[in-house]
A and B are shown apart, each in its own frame.
Chain A
């Protein structure tokens, strides 16, 4: 037996070694920094539809129904789970990506027919006037349970596949209907009061924009300029979710709201510290940089922070006697929370400005913040370790808006070409049929270049960021 176990350990070591080797092989490929994000499209000239708003990417008010969408989404998720076959996951993923001509239509139709009920309910939900998820963030804060959020991933993909199937079969009206379902679902998910919801909403929106892109390339496809212009800007307002994110610490430990006036017994202070400690334990998982700190007991941290905290409060105007009368926990928490609030607001304030204005100062602020977290004990510890990467969150939202704006530009080019014998404009400034939107990431016009019937639209990454945050659209105009 011992010999067998020994052999198994050796086998395990060999296999782990092999895995490490595999990793080494995998990481010797091209650096992701060098990756070029290029979208290649082939479109035909197309004038604006008549009437101009004939096609919309969100359900019209006339098509909406009163009531709360959330219940219908929950039913759709249940129906989806009932019909779901795990072994088809990869296939459905590939159907979202493969060339439309290669789509195995009969098989796609057969698989989608199993989701008929789920698709029907998700459509019903997307037509609802309101969507209140009733997520108890206010009472649960970091402990909030997000019901069935993962199922939206699957639901969004079958909606996207259905849209692709309809486009490939020339059923554009049905495809528009599917896209409306997906876009409305994305907005509904994104309106919930958590950053996760907003990010999932953006991802679903991105999936639907890919669908719109497919539709734009279809023969005799309608021009979607006005349909894209009709989408809300921002598509998902990240500030709603971030308002809640900003408040999470105070919602998780309500006593922190009145620390100055707090008159708690030692037991109550211990309870507050215990709450904080629990949050730190959660935060430790999310942050590699400060993870080691979470392992410190709060008591040890308090002892370490107390002299600094005491000096800090006295500098803010508290008398020495006042500070010394306070329990150690109160002094430490007041100091930490004050520092956390400083850093939090220094970063959150930039979200009130457009991304192209906020990017650089927010980046500087994040660098200063990162520096403040690198010492023996991070400034504002433990609360600062709970802050999300705001610039990344803001960029994700703006990236979605950039996708919309880029597609709108392409549609403007199609419209121009339709009025000029199929010739693309020499520059974006030459387009007079409709206004051309700017790139919301840079606040400037998209880069534009024409070579024959091939147009290149360039959306550079934010200044100083990786090229992977940029996008390039190479569009062939088919006459």
Chain B
């Protein structure tokens, strides 16, 4: 108290300013959280729609990939007088399903890959993809929290099962 009396006006001003400070919150806005939760629950039925679209698009992509591939799949390269190489088509002797691009060549794919390489040569090998670069992780946000559903749960979510499993609610 004695010290308090000795404070200069300037020091009193600092004291008042410090006293006005409040502890920072946890960063999660309750109202915003409830809004996002509500929005996420409304979105779920949409997942069926999105999932169906994804499945159909995938089916379409597979159809296009399989049907649009011309029969002469392998190619032999030849040099021309000017140093360019012309390609000559080579027939694939039997239907050769595409091998996944996963590396290394997984166990159990041996027979399939063997027949593909036999038919198409080097081009039958899956292309290696560039090494994944770890992106800068931004700080947690409410939106991200809702997006970080484990992969398996997301798959269930596709068919509305996520809610069924977590809440026991019949869809």
Contact = CB atoms under 8 A, between A and B. Distances in A.
B90 interface: yes
Contacts of B97: 285
B94 A288 contact: yes
Contacts of A96: 77, 85
A23 B63 CA distance: 11
A217 B83 contact: yes
A326 interface: no
A15 B67 CA distance: 11
B56 A12 contact: yes
B84 interface: yes
A206 interface: yes
B65 to A, nearest CB: 9
Interface string B75-95: 011111111111111110111
Interface in B18-57: 49, 52-53, 56
Interface stretch (A79-87, A268-276, A303-311, A338-346): A79-87
A446 B128 CA distance: 39
Contacts of B123: 153
Give the size range of A's interface with the partner: 35 or more
Contacts of A22: 64, 67-68
Interface of A: 1, 4-5, 8-9, 12, 15-16, 19-20, 22-23, 26-27, 29, 32-33, 35-42, 77-78, 80-82, 84-86, 89, 96-102, 140, 142-154, 156, 194-196, 199-200, 202-204, 206-207, 210, 213-214, 217, 282-283, 285-289, 386, 388-389, 392-393, 396, 466, 468, 471, 476
30 contacts: A4-B49, A15-B63, A19-B68, A27-B70, A33-B91, A39-B79, A40-B81, A82-B131, A84-B129, A84-B131, A86-B129, A140-B107, A145-B105, A149-B125, A150-B104, A150-B105, A156-B122, A194-B114, A196-B105, A196-B110, A196-B117, A199-B121, A202-B121, A203-B121, A210-B77, A285-B111, A287-B115, A386-B111, A392-B118, A468-B89
Interface size class of B (residues with CB under 8 A): 35 or more
A249 to B, nearest CB: 11
B106 interface: yes
Contacts of B126: 150
For the complex, would chain A's binding face be called helix, strand, loop or mixed by DSSP majority?
helix
B56 A9 contact: yes
B108 interface: yes
Nearest to B73: A32
Contact of A32 (B90, B103, B108, B119): B90
A85 B130 contact: yes
Given A142-B111, A147-B104, A468-B91, A41 B79 contact: yes
Nearest to B129: A86
Contacts of B122: 153, 156, 200, 203-204, 206-207
B112 interface: yes
B118 A81 contact: no
A36 B88 contact: yes
Interface of B: 49, 52-53, 56, 59-60, 63-64, 67-68, 70-72, 76-91, 93-95, 97, 101, 103-108, 110-115, 117-119, 121-123, 125-131
B118 A145 contact: no
Contacts of A194: 110, 114
Most chain B beta-carbon contacts within 10 A, residue among A37, A78, A156 = A37
Contacts of B113: 146, 196
B128 A81 contact: yes
A-B CB proximity, top 8 nearest? A203-B122, A100-B83, A143-B107, A99-B84, A286-B111, A39-B78, A42-B81, A146-B105
B68 A23 contact: yes
Given A388-B115, A476-B81, A145 B104 contact: yes
B49 A5 contact: yes
Contacts of B88: 35-38, 468
A40 B89 CA distance: 17
A40 B67 contact: no
A82 B113 CA distance: 25
B93 A389 contact: yes
Contact of B79 (A27, A154, A210): A210
B104 to A, nearest CB: 4
A155 B110 CA distance: 22
Given A143-B108, A150-B103, A196-B114, A40 B79 contact: yes
Given A153-B128, A471-B78, 7 more contacts: A12-B56, A42-B82, A150-B104, A150-B125, A199-B117, A388-B115, A388-B118
B78 A81 contact: no
A150 to B, nearest CB: 4
A388 B118 CA distance: 9
Contacts of A204: 122
Contacts of A466: 91
Nearest to A281: B108
A286 B114 contact: yes
Given A5-B52, A389-B118, A16 B63 contact: yes
Contacts of A468: 76, 88-91
Given A15-B60, A22-B68, A214-B83, A283 B117 contact: no
Given A12-B59, A41-B79, A143-B108, A19 B67 contact: yes
A19 B64 contact: yes
B111 A210 contact: no
A32 B105 contact: no
B136 to A, nearest CB: 18
